Structure 1
């Protein structure tokens, strides 16, 4: 598993170092389940540009909510199963209190 350096700025494409995040098992499982040959074919199946899959695979971009939903619709796996494939076993997903402090403070 890879650990990504943390950043305090929200919206940055770097993932918190406290999370163990590896999108490769997720991408590999989707390729296998959908009987595809490579990342380019996966990008076509998910209707995203090939660099998006490449950036996710190389930890330059997280798997966003809209892409996760698209993966769910394409693979018929649950969102929980998809998140588990990349090492996210949390029962609930929370964005943290940073955004709450912004609104209230």
Structure 2
């Protein structure tokens, strides 16, 4: 099942990206990240669990909040 493998890989990479942003911002958990991004906590949870893709608005918020370039954030995928 190539699609399931692709989805798992995407989720793993999304988690690495979120973890990198959290490390840069010195945040302890997803709740702190959601507060910093001013998004509802379930949004981060859905990304972490592969139920939601990282969209443009989240990517921009991650960039603006962390000063990690869009290109670097996209390089996780």
TM-score of the pair, normalised by structure 2:
0.85
Stretches of structure 2 lacking an aligned partner (at least 5 in a row): none
Displacement over 6 Å in runs of 4+: none
Bigger Cα Rg: 1
State the TM-score, normalizing by the size of structure 1: 0.63
The RMSD of aligned alpha carbons is: 1.5
Give the secondary-structure state (helix, strand or coil) at the position aligned to 1:59: coil
- Structure 1 residues not aligned, in runs of 5+: 6-19, 88-105
Q: 2:55 aligns with which of 64, 67, 73?
A: 64
The structure where helix makes up a greater share of residues is 2
Tell me the number of residue pairs that the alignment of Structure 1 and Structure 2 aligns. 71
Task: Identify the structure with bigger relative contact order (alpha carbons < 8 Å, sequence gap 6+).
Answer: 2
Match of 1:83 in 2: 74
